[in-house]
Amino acid sequence: MLTAREYHDRTSYDRRRMEPHRLNWADQPARYKTYPGAAVLPLPQVADDSDESLWEVAAGRARPAAGPLGLQQVARILARSCTLTARRRFSGGTFDYRSVASAGALYPTELYLAASAVESLAAGVYHFGLERRCLTPLRVGPVAAATGVESGPRPALSFFVSVIFYRSAWKYRQRALRYVLLDAGHLLENLLLALKACGLNGHLSYDFDDRQVAGLLGLDLECEVPLAVVVVAAPAAAPAPDEEAPGPLAVDLPAAGQVAAREVAYDLIGRAYRSGNGVYPAGAADPKQVLKLGVQTTQTHGIPTVSAGKEELSLSQALRQRRSRRNFAAERLARHPFEHLLDLVCRAAPLDRPAEPRYGAAVAIGALVGNVDGYPPGFYLLSPDDRRLARVSSGELTTAMAAACLDQMWLAAAAVHFLFMVNLSALDACWGARGYRYAMLGAGRIGQRLYLGATALGLGCCGIGALYDDEARRLLGLSADAGLLYLVAVGSVRGR
């Protein structure tokens, strides 16, 4: 067994003990999962030129969908969840960027769906092929009862987000579990927003029987693991599905999870994953403790609900234009965009508040303000439920934080660093090692929301997972059992 705290501590970076690592290009992981010889189903073309506002969608006020679920709608949800957005050419070929951010552009995530009641799509389990925009049928037959989630609505359609460890471990080695969880959160947020934009309510679960889901999707749990299930409920009036078992899996599908000829299995990743590989009931400890960072707050600001500006991009434009931008201009950020971003983080629709509150509340959110109009520089904590921002300490800390982020000094010019923190000991006490997933997936989700919000407002944004962990913790004054999990820098950028 390995607790969340042990895994986090043992994969911390320390500037005095960094091990040099050369990438093994001969075993560079394949970026796309393929199923050689399998028939594929092309997805219909969908033009996404809708003008919905990200803020409206995030608040769950999008127009409701008309009619039953169809293949066109599934194609739109998938396109909004993840799509190729930009192509870079280099001497050895091309590289495609995506609408989701990913640490090191390694893209460990995969997306699957199980259809029970979708017009023009036979019931069964499918893998989403991003590069070719197609579905690969993995099983045909009834799947409604096979999502691995014990409670929740009867599904018409379920989505599964998984990660392939080696894609990230190739570069980040033992630390890669952190990145794959954050990356999965980024993709999940796009998926949840896509569902909301279609007027669909998704029931999110991080708690399911991993083996059952892996069996359903044909995953080899040594290489690829499921992290989230999102169920779209069947209408109450729909006939109940028969109890037949799903059809058989094509024989060698688990091998498709292998992405390089010689993969290295990192023991801390395997142990940390297996330690959280169970369903943990709530109630072992008070969930509020996971937000206790050992800091005191003083002055608080209320967060206004901000109305959209004329220049703001729509959600679909922001998805297409989202990129990581590092050329921050050392400029003061106006109050309106900062509060607009805080408002976006606070907009939690019922989708984010499932029966179990753990997913929304497993990570503390802060802001290191460097240069924002009306907000003196300092460290602040955000309380999304009561829409308040409370000051922890005063003073300019973004330069020191840039140094704590592996000396990525361009971060010092960003107006604000959003921070995702947790009390790791409390996380373990509350939910066991699986709690690490809740905190990291939550941080990734809000990170993606910030990327989209910043893009919509014409600002630059970049997620940062590279930290000298203890240095960052001490800089913020967090207690020894707390840690900074992720940072997302936002500010004006040059040349826009």
- Measured distance CA(188)–CA(204) in Å, rounded: 9
Is residue 167 at the binding interface for ligand FMN, with CB under 6 A as the rule?
A: no
Could you tell me where the DSSP H helices lie in 371-468?
Answer: 398-404, 424-431, 435-456
- Measured distance CA(382)–CA(462) in Å, rounded: 20
Both tokens of 59, joined, read 């608040």
Which of 57, 62, 101, 272 touches ligand FMN by CB under 6 A? 101
Which of 60, 70, 104, 247 touches ligand FMN by CB under 6 A? 104
Which of 146, 293, 464, 476 touches ligand FMN by CB under 6 A? 464
- Measured distance CA(352)–CA(356) in Å, rounded: 10
* CA 227 from centroid of its chain's CA atoms: 10
Residue closer to ligand FMN (CB basis): 401 or 430: 401
- Measured distance CA(476)–CA(295) in Å, rounded: 9
Q: Are 85 and 131 in contact (CB under 8 A)?
A: no
Closest approach, Cβ 213 to ligand FMN, in A, equals 23
Closest approach, Cβ 385 to ligand FMN, in A, equals 25
Closest approach, Cβ 447 to ligand FMN, in A, equals 6
Binding-site size, ligand FMN (CB under 6 A): 19
- Measured distance CA(455)–CA(190) in Å, rounded: 14
Mapped onto helix, strand or coil, the DSSP state of residue 274 is: helix
Residue closer to ligand FMN (CB basis): 166 or 375: 166
What sign for the dihedral angle of Cα 110, 114, 120, 123? positive
Residue type, 156: A
**Binding to ligand FMN, residues 304-333 (CB under 6 A):** 323-324, 326
Is residue 182 at the binding interface for ligand FMN, with CB under 6 A as the rule?
A: yes
Is residue 183 at the binding interface for ligand FMN, with CB under 6 A as the rule?
A: yes
Q: Are 99 and 83 in contact (CB under 8 A)?
A: yes
Contacting range for ligand FMN; rule: CB under 6 A; set: 175-183, 258-266, 351-359, 382-390? 175-183
Neighbours of 396 (CB within 10 A): 15
What does 201-257 look like in DSSP terms, one character per residue?
Answer: PEEEES-S-HHHHHHHHT--TTTEEEEEEEEEEPPTTSPPPP-PPPPPPPTTGGGGG
Closest approach, Cβ 73 to ligand FMN, in A, equals 26
Contacting range for ligand FMN; rule: CB under 6 A; set: 47-55, 126-134, 178-186, 193-201? 178-186
| 408-422 burial: b if 16+ Cβ within 10 Å, else e | beebbbbbbbbbbbb
Residue closer to ligand FMN (CB basis): 137 or 483: 483
* Nearest residue to 384 (alpha-carbon basis) of 433, 450, 475, 316: 450
Q: Are 487 and 101 in contact (CB under 8 A)?
A: no
Residue closer to ligand FMN (CB basis): 400 or 466: 466
Residue closer to ligand FMN (CB basis): 331 or 407: 407
* Nearest-5° Cα angle at 81, 11 to 421: 35
Is residue 83 at the binding interface for ligand FMN, with CB under 6 A as the rule?
A: no
Closest approach, Cβ 466 to ligand FMN, in A, equals 3
Name the packing angle between helices 165-172 and 176-197 (round to 10°): 140
- Measured distance CA(108)–CA(235) in Å, rounded: 33
**Binding to ligand FMN, residues 381-440 (CB under 6 A):** 408
Closest approach, Cβ 254 to ligand FMN, in A, equals 27
Residue closer to ligand FMN (CB basis): 96 or 222: 96
- Measured distance CA(379)–CA(416) in Å, rounded: 10
Closest approach, Cβ 405 to ligand FMN, in A, equals 6
* Nearest residue to 314 (alpha-carbon basis) of 48, 46, 54: 54
Which of 3, 11, 102, 398 touches ligand FMN by CB under 6 A? 102
Is residue 97 at the binding interface for ligand FMN, with CB under 6 A as the rule?
A: yes
Closest approach, Cβ 105 to ligand FMN, in A, equals 4
- Measured distance CA(142)–CA(234) in Å, rounded: 14
Q: What is the dihedral of CA 420, 95, 33, 29, to 10 degrees?
A: -80
Contacting range for ligand FMN; rule: CB under 6 A; set: 62-70, 147-155, 176-184, 376-384? 176-184
Residue closer to ligand FMN (CB basis): 414 or 429: 414
Contacting range for ligand FMN; rule: CB under 6 A; set: 121-129, 179-187, 271-279, 350-358? 179-187
Which of 38, 105, 390, 400 touches ligand FMN by CB under 6 A? 105
Is residue 468 at the binding interface for ligand FMN, with CB under 6 A as the rule?
A: no
Contacting range for ligand FMN; rule: CB under 6 A; set: 167-175, 177-185, 227-235, 242-250? 177-185
Instruction: With residue 114 as reference, give the H or E element that holds it.
Output: strand 109-115
Which of 2, 54, 62, 103 touches ligand FMN by CB under 6 A? 103
Closest approach, Cβ 356 to ligand FMN, in A, equals 24
One character per residue 205-244, x = contact with ligand FMN (rule: CB under 6 A): ----------------------------------------
* Nearest residue to 367 (alpha-carbon basis) of 424, 446, 445: 446
Contacting range for ligand FMN; rule: CB under 6 A; set: 100-108, 342-350, 378-386, 391-399? 100-108
Residues of this chain that interact with ligand FMN (CB under 6 A) are 97, 101-105, 179, 182-183, 186, 323-324, 326, 408, 462-466
